[in-house]
Amino acid sequence: MLKRLRNLIDPPAIPARGMSGVSPLLRDDPPAIEQRAALLAGKNISYTLKRSSRRRSIGLRIDDCGLTVTVPWRASEKWLHSVLQDKAHWVVDKLENWRANKPVAPQWVDGQQVFFLGKPLALRVIPSLFDAPPQLQGAQLFVHVGGSDSERVVEQAVTQWYQREAENLFRGRVAYYAPLLNVSPRMVKLSAARTQWGSCTTRGSVRLNWQLIKMPLRLIDYVVVHELAHLAEMNHSAAFWHVVATVCPDYAKRRSELRSWGLEKHTVE
């Protein structure tokens, strides 16, 4: 289900090694995270290398932190090199595409426009004696900050407010649509994924990106329905879209509308 900007490469066939050899404790362990650079398709690309003992394959991910390469703990330099060279054009294309579409970061200052359920709100930063949860009044969102009114503090307060609102709203939408689709999710959680609006696992756990709260309800509903429909059809077959259409007949329109909103590069899976 997960169509991210990501590539998984299986390890080359290597002969299994026995338990002999130097105990891992006696070796110098490589660092878990490293900043590196490589020449890919003629371009000098810096990337973050992460080692994970749980990985069996080399994974490449591109997001607003740039390129991250996750490798099994003991992956050889040769294997890493060959995967990077193999995927060089993919990496360079995706990085360029990402940068071209990168949204302008909002400023968390008084008067700034923020979105909520598809409507613009004016952010009002009010220096106060105490911090208080943001309050929505008409088309204004009042943020009372007791101490610092730095952008970071304001961003945090608004983000927490968004997440609370998202949790309440999404819970209600799931409760409404699940019986209509004849499914019962085991768990509904907020996600902060960078590249996905929603996801669903075979075990019935649905995740919805809190940033959806910025978008019109009809688009939130589309994502809710899409993920719930996966509980009936774990694929994107005609049967899946048929399930979606039972409660959301204009899903194709909403889907393309969702793309046009593109706060970041998200996909619904």
Would you tell me which residues interact with Zn ion (CB under 5 A)?
269
Q: For residues 90 and 241, which CB has a smaller minimum distance to Zn ion in the complex?
A: 241
User: Is residue 203 classed as helix, strand or coil in its secondary structure?
Assistant: coil
Q: How far is the CB of 26 from Zn ion (least distance, A)?
A: 47
Per DSSP bridges, beta strands 58-63 and 66-72 are antiparallel
Per DSSP bridges, beta strands 43-52 and 66-72 are parallel
| Angstrom distance (rounded) from CA 43 to CA 131 | 48
Instruction: State the distance between the two ends of the chain, measured CA to CA, in whole angstroms.
Output: 5
- Which residues have CB under 8 Å from 189's CB, separation 6+? 205, 206, 207, 208
Q: How far is the CB of 102 from Zn ion (least distance, A)?
A: 25
Q: How far is the CB of 244 from Zn ion (least distance, A)?
A: 9
Q: For residues 194 and 255, which CB has a smaller minimum distance to Zn ion in the complex?
A: 255
Q: 2, 199 in Cβ contact below 8 A?
A: yes
Q: 142, 135 in Cβ contact below 8 A?
A: yes
Q: For residues 112 and 201, which CB has a smaller minimum distance to Zn ion in the complex?
A: 201
Between the CA atoms of 199, 201, 205 and 208, what dihedral angle is there, to the nearest 10 degrees? 0
Q: For residues 221 and 269, which CB has a smaller minimum distance to Zn ion in the complex?
A: 269
Q: How far is the CB of 230 from Zn ion (least distance, A)?
A: 6
Tokens of 114: 């923020």
Q: How far is the CB of 226 from Zn ion (least distance, A)?
A: 6
Alpha helices in 87-189 (DSSP H): 88-101, 151-181
Q: For residues 149 and 269, which CB has a smaller minimum distance to Zn ion in the complex?
A: 269
Q: For residues 91 and 268, which CB has a smaller minimum distance to Zn ion in the complex?
A: 268
Q: For residues 145 and 223, which CB has a smaller minimum distance to Zn ion in the complex?
A: 223
Instruction: Please tell me what DSSP assigns to residue 2.
Output: -
Q: How far is the CB of 243 from Zn ion (least distance, A)?
A: 11
Q: How far is the CB of 31 from Zn ion (least distance, A)?
A: 37
Angle at 95 between CA 92 and CA 101, to 5 degrees: 140
Q: For residues 162 and 177, which CB has a smaller minimum distance to Zn ion in the complex?
A: 177
Length of the chain in terms of residues written: 269
Residue nearest to Zn ion (CB): 269
Tokens of 179: 């019986």
Beta-bridge partners for 202: none
Q: How far is the CB of 250 from Zn ion (least distance, A)?
A: 17
